[in-house]
Amino acid sequence: MVSWNTAELAETFRRDGVIELGQILEPDDVEELRQRMDRLMYQAPGEVSPKVRDLSEARGKPLTYSVMQLVDLWSMDEAFDRLARRDDILDLMEVLLGPDLQLFRDQSFFKPAGHGGEIFLHQDNRYWHLDPPHAVTLWIALDDATIANGCVHFLKGSHTVGRVEHHRAMGGESILLEAEADKAATVPIEVPVGHATVHHCHLVHWSPPNHTDRPRRGHTIQYMAAGLSKDGAPCTSYPLLRGRLRDTAAIA
């Protein structure tokens, strides 16, 4: 259990759209989660599970798995489920999002040693279409995340400007989108192993390739205020973590 100065964190979150939480996992927890993540990502040594998506996929190019994404680990593994429901984390989420909370999803991002690729500049909600955009990502480092191995870079304050235009990255060849925003103004936040950050779903961010001989594993959990809609449909089927489901009008 970690206890934070939540008033200070909430103030920084409102201003910057991103906060640093410090250490939230003990070394033993990190080791256990790494092993479980690796077992979910690989069905046999060197053989990527069919559930893994290759975010480095580009039209007409063979898959390289330079950025591996696995979604909803909480539904496949009890340790990830326990992590998503941790009381101290939910207490903090209540401060940021209000008393009624749902789990939108969790997802792991794995940039392999040597050839980990880029995640282009984007707003998360450009992919998710949550309305209103009352959702955040808890980003937990399962390896030291550094500039050299692809830590996340943020455009602080950009969560306040609403939706930003996006286009398909790599001249239209990538499966990923790229935001029309000032990449040069983004700042890296290096995250030591076991530490975490939280960012708003409208905050513009990206992460560079992994040029090191070490993997970069990040596990993320997406929390939302209860009662949002996604693609116009109410989010009624997502796990309720705290409070109750109200309608969207009560949150806005």
Ligand X SMILES: O=C(O)CCC(=O)C(=O)O
Q: Is 207 in the site for ligand X (CB under 6 A)?
A: yes
Minimum CB–partner distance for residue 139 and ligand X (Å): 5
User: How many C-beta atoms surround the C-beta of residue 210 within 10 A?
Assistant: 27
Q: Is 137 in the site for ligand X (CB under 6 A)?
A: yes
User: Which residues lie closer than 8 Å to 72 by C-beta, 6 or more apart?
Assistant: 105, 106, 107
Q: Is 130 in the site for ligand X (CB under 6 A)?
A: no
Q: Which of residues 14-53 bind ligand X (CB under 6 A)?
A: none
Q: Based on CB atoms, which residue is closest to ligand X, 116 or 227?
A: 116
Q: Is 139 in the site for ligand X (CB under 6 A)?
A: yes
Cα separation, 237 vs 116, whole angstroms: 34
Q: Is 186 in the site for ligand X (CB under 6 A)?
A: no
Q: Which of residues 49-78 bind ligand X (CB under 6 A)?
A: none
Q: Based on CB atoms, which residue is closest to ligand X, 140 or 226?
A: 140
Q: Is 124 in the site for ligand X (CB under 6 A)?
A: yes
Q: Which residues pair with 195 in a beta bridge?
A: 23
Cα separation, 15 vs 197, whole angstroms: 15
- Give the total residue count for the chain: 252
Minimum CB–partner distance for residue 162 and ligand X (Å): 18
| Size, binding site for ligand X by CB under 6 A | 11
Cα separation, 187 vs 153, whole angstroms: 5
Q: Give Cα separations from 214 to 66, 117, 141, 209 (angstroms).
A: 13, 13, 13, 12
Minimum CB–partner distance for residue 138 and ligand X (Å): 9
* Of 152, 181, 224, 235, the one binding ligand X by CB under 6 A: 152
Q: How far, in whole angstroms, is CA 236 from its chain's centroid?
A: 21
Contacting positions for ligand X (CB under 6 A): 109, 119, 124, 137, 139, 150, 152, 205, 207, 218, 220
